[in-house]
Amino acid sequence: MWLWFAKLGSPRWFYELSDKWLPWLYLSMLIMMSIGLFWALLIVPEDYQQGQTIRIMYIHVPVASISLACFPLMAVAGTITLVWKMKLADMVAQSVAPIGAWFTGLALATGAIWGDQIWGTWWAWDARLTSLLIQFFLFIGVIALRSAIDSTDAAAKACAVLAIVGAINVPIIKYSVDWWNTLHQPASNFSMDPVSPNPPEVWVPLLVMICAVYIFFAIALILRTRNEILQRERRSQWVIDLVAREKNV
Amino acid sequence: MFAFQFSSLSEFLQMGGVYTFHIWAVYLLFAVFIGYNLLQPKMVRRHFLREQKRRAARDEELASKTNTQK
Amino acid sequence: MNNAREIQDIKGVSTWSAFCATLRRDLVIALKRRNDLLNPIMFFLIVVSLFPLGISPDPVELSRVSAGVVWVSALLASMLSLDNLYRADYEDGSLEQLLLSPQPLYFLVLAKNIAHWLISGLPVVILSPLLAYMLYLPSEAYWTMVLTLLIGTPVLSLFGSIGVALTVGLGSRGLILAVIVLPLATPVLIIGAKAVTDVMVGLPVGSHFALLGAILALALTMAPLASAAALRISVN
């Protein structure tokens, strides 16, 4: 068990393993995404309240739900960095931050577009949108801190501390924002909750899309982590060999 | 349950007419997002490989020069 | 018991006296540097007086936003003064001495944070009724505002301390401190400002104070730990 753990920390091991994984991940993403998009765009029936704009949900909800997973993931990676000094964990943490910012940004943008239809305005200080916005700021803070510190080692630890502090704060922020807004205006009778009174033909494609976007998230994370591994290990022999093997780039 | 909601391509592109722009804007953003996050790492990787190759070539050249000088 | 006393003797000073010494030292330094002491208060005053110029002199409109204005300005004032927290100590090397001392760093950091709050937070709290009066805050909301600030501003100091500790070693910090710390401060701002506005419309605010108190308790226990860890990373 500990051998496995030690192996996991080795960037080279991860790099070579991900070589084998990536084709399968690409394939499954392609299949899931095609099914999901086809279903969402062509087959899902019109919603009696929202009409065709129900199709926005199939992008917004998967992206938003995965954006919520990024900060905890970064905090876990940060904890591993601080406790076991595992290099790979920090590379993952570094790669999650921009991806998390992208996911949160897209969730905000699609939420705003959807909001124009639901609330008749591009931006509302809706609890969910607001807490996403603050989470977006937190990601920007982590990225800014990382780029401000020159030493890789110090940056890794500093970002790990910030990620843990942020991850403790994210639920508090979310809770306080929910509480702040729900007292102001009664919760709108439109529920964004996808699995409430809706029939399976609405939520099954949503599930497919969530899986597809999750796989996409994994691919994006692995690709960035691989680049980070190459960059940081560029002086080790296996990377030099790898560069030599690589033809016509 | 598995019936197509649109009878023609133009009807599909119209998306009911009222919120055509909203729906397609969301899907366009999603496409840009997927495309960027897949292509950006590829570009970084290619840039890195080029850089390392150039460096390796330069090192080799330097090594051969010092050898001939000897 | 005796054994513990001996160990204490070996280590020189007890944690409590180290805590007091750190607190006293920071306060003395702050009192010697009048500008650092005055700047946050002046900043608070100026920012608050900019709002009527930007919004309108209308009493009804101003009283509606007054709670938020006072809270946001207090947040910014606390932010501005954060830089003094570790910067000078880092530059003259006394921060390293602090890290090397045998006493738990948690208490020393806590002492520094309390000193920072006494210097920058407390004056803002004391000054806030005056500014609230200028912004036509209804009189029934005064006590709530002072009390929320009294509970809330220490949290700002404690959270801010983490941000400063993370960035203290950096040459060009620019706005990075604000980018890191301000999102963390949002819960306090939300709850504090909302308590004041709720009192203005006659709603009960017990739960607001409970939440603020819970956040303060969490910040008191966790934030100095994070600051201490961050300081050890930054000073290397």
Mean pLDDT of chain C: 85
* Sequence-separated (6 or more) residues with CB below 8 Å from residue C3: none
Q: How confident is the model at residue A6 (pLDDT cuts 50, 70, 90)?
A: low
Neighbours of C197 (CB within 10 A): 21
Which residue, among C190, C224, C210, C44, has the nearest Cα to C125 in the 3D structure? C44
Instruction: State pLDDT tens for residues C50-62.
Output: 988 888 888 888 8
Highest mean pLDDT among A4-13, A174-183, C204-213: C204-213
Task: Give me the pLDDT at residue A186, please.
Answer: 42
**Residue C202, helix vs strand vs coil:** coil
In the prediction, which pLDDT does A190 show? 45
Handedness of CA C39, C44, C49, C54 (dihedral sign): positive
Mean pLDDT of C29-42: 82
ipTM: 0.82
Mean pLDDT (whole number) for A171-177: 83
Token pair, residue A135, equals 């989470």
Residues C142-157 have pLDDT tens digits of 888 999 999 999 999 9
Confidence of residue A191 (pLDDT cuts 50, 70, 90): very low
Indicate the residue type of A55: R
Whole-number Cα distances in Å, A102 to A95, B30, C35: 11, 11, 43
SS3 A234: coil
Query: E-strand spans in chain C?
Result: none
Nearest to B19 among A45, A53, A106 (CB): A53
- Band the pLDDT of A23: cuts 50, 70, 90: very high
Give the angle A103-A107-A112 at the CA atoms, nearest 5°.
Answer: 150
CA distances from A175 to A64, A167, A182, C187 (A): 17, 13, 11, 9
Q: Does B24 touch chain A (CB under 8 A)?
A: no
In this predicted structure, what is the pLDDT of residue A184? Answer: 43
Residues C78, C157 contacting (CB under 8 angstroms): yes
The secondary structure of residue A51, as a DSSP letter, is B
Mutate to test the interface with B, among A106, A213, A229 (most CBs of B within 10 A): A106
Asked if residue A130 lies in contact with residue A177, where contact means CB atoms within 8 angstroms, the answer is: yes
Taking a C-beta distance cutoff of 8 angstroms, is the pair A115, A121 a contact? yes
CA distance A61 to A52: 16
From residue C172, alpha-carbon distances to A108, C169, C175, C176, C177 in Å are 31, 9, 9, 9, 11
Please list, in sequence order, all residues whose beta carbon lies within 8 angstroms of the beta carbon of residue A133, skipping any fewer than 6 positions away. Answer: A108
B19 or C104, greater pLDDT: C104
B22/A244 touch (CB, cutoff 8 Å), yes or no: no
> Among A144, A186, A8, which Cα is nearest to A80's?
A8
Give the model's pLDDT for residue C136.
86
Query: Are the beta carbons of A44 and B5 separated by less than 8 Å?
Result: yes
pLDDT tens digits, one per residue of A37-93: 888 888 777 776 677 778 888 889 899 889 988 999 999 999 998 888 888 889 999
Q: Is B25 on the interface with A (CB under 8 A)?
A: yes
Distances in Å between the alpha carbon of A213 and those of A67, A98, A150, C55? 11, 16, 33, 44
What are residue A51's DSSP bridge partners? A47
Confidence of residue A239 (pLDDT cuts 50, 70, 90): confident
Distance of alpha carbon C3 from alpha carbon A30, whole angstroms: 69
Distance CA C190, CA C185 (A): 9
Secondary structure of residue B70 in the 3-state scheme: coil
In this structure, of A13-17, C2-6, C24-28, the range with the lowest mean pLDDT score is C2-6
User: In whole angstroms, what is the distance from residue A32 CA to residue A58 CA?
Assistant: 13
| Region of residue C3 (left: phi > 0; alpha: psi -120 to 50; beta: else) | alpha
Residue C44 in tokens: 């608070």
Question: Which amino acid makes up residue A116?
Answer: D
Written as six digits, the tokens of C116 are 């920072």
CA-based nearest residue to C205, from C127, C148, C133, C122:
C148
Quote the pLDDT of residue C101. 83
- Whether chains C and B touch (3+ CB pairs under 8 A) is answered by no
Q: Which amino acid is at C192?
A: G
Helices C176-200/A152-184 angle, 10° precision: 20
pLDDT in tens, C193-229: 888 888 888 888 888 888 899 999 999 999 999 999 9
Burial A55-71 (b: 16+ CB within 10 A, else e): bbbbbbbbbbbbbbebb
DSSP summary character for residue C56:
-
Of all residues in chain A, the percent with pLDDT exceeding 90 is 33
pLDDT digits (tens, 9 = 90+) for A76-89: 999 998 888 888 88
CB contact under 8 A, A165 and C187: no
Residue A25 has a pLDDT of: 92
In the prediction, which pLDDT does C34 show?
79
**Average pLDDT of the segment spanning C11-29:** 82
The packing angle between helices A200-232 and A11-38, to 10°, is 150
Give yes or no for residue C188 having a pLDDT over 80: yes
* pLDDT of A9 over the 80 cut: no
Nearest-Cα distance to chain A for C109, in Å, is 16
- Report the residue of B30, B34, B49 to disrupt the A interface, i.e. the one with the largest count of A CBs within 10 Å: B30
List the single best residue of A67, A223, A228 to mutate versus B (max B Cβ within 10 A): A223
Q: Give the global pTM.
A: 0.85
Asked if pLDDT for residue A183 goes beyond 60, the answer is: no
Backbone angles phi, psi at C25, to 5 degrees: -60, -50
Partner-chain contact A201 B1, CB within 8 Å: yes
DSSP state of A47: B
pLDDT at B60: 84
pLDDT of residue A180: 78
Q: Indicate the residue type of A139.
A: F
pLDDT digits (tens, 9 = 90+) for B11-50: 777 776 677 788 888 899 999 999 999 999 999 999 998 8
Closest CA to C194 of C78, C67, C72: C67
3-state secondary structure of C169: coil
Answer yes or no: is pLDDT of C7 > 70.
Answer: no
Identify the band that residue A137 occupies on the pLDDT scale cut at 50, 70 and 90: very high
Task: Tell me the per-residue pLDDT of A200-221, one tens digit each, with 9 for 90 and over.
Answer: 777 888 899 999 999 999 999 9
A195: pLDDT confidence band, cut at 50, 70 and 90?
A: very low
Touching B (3+ Cβ pairs <8 A), the chains are A
Pick the closest to residue B53 from A226, A16, A247 (CA basis).
A247
Cβ proximity of A166 and A72 under 8 Å: no
pLDDT at position A189 over 50: no
Please tell me if residue B54 touches chain A, with a CB cutoff of 8 Å: no
pLDDT at C1: 45
